[in-house]
Amino acid sequence: MSDPGAIFASPSEVNWFAAGRRLAAGEAALVSIWGDEGRMRMALREPDGALSFVDYHCDDGAFPSVAAVHPPAGRLERSACDLFGFEARDGPDRRRWLDHGRWPVRHPLGTPSAHEGLPDLYAFLKAEGPGLHQIPVGPVHAGIIEPGHFRFHASGETVVRLEERLGYVHKGVDRLMRGAYLERAASLAARVSGDSTVAYSIAFARSVEMALGIETPPRAHFLRGLMAELERLANHFGDIGAICNDAAFALMHAHCGILRERTLRAANAAFGHRLMMDAVVPGGVAVDVRPDGIDAIQNLIAAVRSAFPKLVHLYDNTASLQDRTVGTGVVKPNMARQFGAGGVVGRASGRDFDARRDHPYPPYDALAFQVPLRREGDVNARVWVRIDEVFESLDLVEAMLSRLPEGSIQIQFEIGGPREGHALVEAFRGDVFTHVRLAEDGSIGRCHLRDASWFQWPLLEAAIEGNIVADFPLGNKSFNCSYSGCDL
């Protein structure tokens, strides 16, 4: 970020530079940075937990790069430049991120210009030295996973540099959102990252409810909480099993797969959809819990309480498994703090943040729970945070069932605008931030959805450095970042 020329700086510039300086100094955490019509916007988390917002009007089509002083802003800034056509002045990385040169347009949300011809070339960062070789992986991977490209520079078995290239599943969600009315916008938000569909739906709904000043009925809050914890349980079972499977310990995978399937079946019995897609809508929830659904959830809790401790014991007492997970893929606490890494990745590296507790929203503001924390930052710590969170979620589900309020599940409301609202919601992999700007007719003017993975993917590059290539799948799985959630 260059010298703003303090005397002539507009208020917008002064605030923007001040925000950049505070991020660089660690006085505030970056929540997100995104483009809107003619301006860049930034959300920060202040030391007291409050969110603050800064706009920068790009009158000459450019804005001072925040990434120049605070690297975590990098990919978000590059994405905003791709979509809106802004220039990040003094930006450290001018390469396009989401735009691979394969769309028929450049800057689809700014002033679109037609694009034809060959796709862009991408200059990967270099690592040079005797005996170094490159290993290109993806976008199509060997497993049943999302597409992305990993470029390894390796010295023998040891990873010298990993660079990620993402954007392959960019579907143009931001552009589809613009002009959409709430029902369609909610169904798009529910499909940003399918594994976090409930969390995204809650975040989108809460943004709209804040914008329009809607009071959601208490029963709806509790049903949302139930769905969110079922989603967390299902994903944590899947991840714990899959991490062990990547260390060739298939027995854990088989058992965790059973618990995951039982969770999805209970969700289906309770809410009519295994992933509970489209069940949360602005104003409340679309479906009430079915009468036999409560039994299904209670039976699930009992089954997990019986089976899961044995699996934890097995994990904790299998030396060959620990040999793979302990000390592998370490994220240092200072990196987790600098990047504001949320979720399991942050909490396994000492970053004590959970949006449910630290940015409280119903029903969690009325419930007591612990936020598990580890400091080692390795694969093992990320497994343990998930294990501990499973037990917390079981308690939360029971508490919510026992205190489920009666009453309506949805409130009717008038749409209108222009208004703005935002939300920070804890998905299973970390905090989802949403910011919604409603146009005058109540349609979406701009909807920005920021997955926790934005601040986790870069840490994976750092975590794998100095590890062997064969440990990458294990480290990657222990992060389980979303591709679709970042590519949008």
Partner 1 sequence: MRDTLLQSLRPPLTEPAPAADDPELAALAASVKNAAEATLGRSLAIRHVDAGSCNGCELEIHALNNAFYDLERFGLRFVASPRHADVLLVTGPVTLNMREALERTYEATPAPKWVVATGVCAADGGVFAGSYAIAGGVSSVLPVDLVIPGCPPTPASLLKGLLALMTGRPR
425 interacts with partner 1 by CB under 8 A: no
For the bound state, the minimum distance from the C-beta of residue 202 to partner 1, rounded and expressed in Å, comes to 16
Nearest to 52 by CA among 424, 350, 453, 439: 424
Phi, psi of 344 (to 5 degrees): -60, -40
For residue 57, what are the contacts with CB-CB under 8 A and spacing of at least 6?
A: 10, 12, 38, 39
105 interacts with partner 1 by CB under 8 A: yes
For the bound state, the minimum distance from the C-beta of residue 108 to partner 1, rounded and expressed in Å, comes to 5
95 interacts with partner 1 by CB under 8 A: no
Residue closer to partner 1 (CB basis): 383 or 481: 481
How far apart, in whole angstroms, are the C-alpha atoms of residue 270 and residue 383? 28
Q: How distant, in Å, are the alpha carbons of 117, 269, 270, 294, 334 from that of 291?
A: 58, 9, 8, 6, 48
How far apart, in whole angstroms, are the C-alpha atoms of residue 238 and residue 387? 11
Residue closer to partner 1 (CB basis): 78 or 221: 78
Task: Give the side-chain half-sphere CA count within 13 A for 360.
Answer: 11
For residue 152, what are the contacts with CB-CB under 8 A and spacing of at least 6?
A: 134, 135, 136, 137, 159, 161, 162, 469, 472
179 interacts with partner 1 by CB under 8 A: no
How far apart, in whole angstroms, are the C-alpha atoms of residue 252 and residue 340? 31
How far apart, in whole angstroms, are the C-alpha atoms of residue 291 and residue 310? 31
Q: Is 243 exposed, middle or buried (0-12, 13-18, 19+ CB in 10 A)?
A: buried
Residue closer to partner 1 (CB basis): 1 or 281: 281
With contacts defined by CB under 8 A, name the span among 121-129, 187-195, 348-356, 388-396 that binds partner 1.
187-195
430 interacts with partner 1 by CB under 8 A: no
How far apart, in whole angstroms, are the C-alpha atoms of residue 475 and residue 275? 26
With contacts defined by CB under 8 A, name the span among 47-55, 65-73, 163-171, 433-441 that binds partner 1.
163-171
CA 375 to chain centre: 21
Residue closer to partner 1 (CB basis): 25 or 140: 140
Question: For residues 418 and 329, is the Cβ–Cβ distance under 8 A?
Answer: no
Binding mask 314-333 for partner 1 (x = CB under 8 A): x--x----------------
For the bound state, the minimum distance from the C-beta of residue 312 to partner 1, rounded and expressed in Å, comes to 12
121 interacts with partner 1 by CB under 8 A: no
Among 145, 367, 411, 462, binds partner 1 (CB under 8 A): 145
For the bound state, the minimum distance from the C-beta of residue 487 to partner 1, rounded and expressed in Å, comes to 8
Could you tell me how many helices (H) and strands (E) the chain has, helices first? 16, 15
With contacts defined by CB under 8 A, name the span among 3-11, 13-21, 201-209, 256-264 that binds partner 1.
256-264
Q: How many residues bind partner 1 (CB under 8 A)?
A: 55
Residue closer to partner 1 (CB basis): 42 or 427: 427
305 interacts with partner 1 by CB under 8 A: no
Phi, psi of 409 (to 5 degrees): -110, -5
415 interacts with partner 1 by CB under 8 A: no
For the bound state, the minimum distance from the C-beta of residue 85 to partner 1, rounded and expressed in Å, comes to 14
Residue closer to partner 1 (CB basis): 193 or 216: 193
Among 18, 254, 302, 470, binds partner 1 (CB under 8 A): 254
Among 126, 171, 305, 403, binds partner 1 (CB under 8 A): 171
Task: Give the side-chain half-sphere CA count within 13 A for 261.
Answer: 6
85 interacts with partner 1 by CB under 8 A: no
Q: Of all helices (H) and strands (E), which one includes residue 218?
A: helix 218-246
Residue type at position 34: W
How far apart, in whole angstroms, are the C-alpha atoms of residue 330 and residue 126? 23
Residues that bind partner 1 (CB under 8 A): 100, 102-105, 108, 119, 139-140, 142-147, 167-173, 175-176, 184, 187-188, 191-195, 197, 238, 251, 254-255, 257-258, 260-261, 264, 274-275, 277, 307, 310-311, 313-314, 317, 482-484, 487
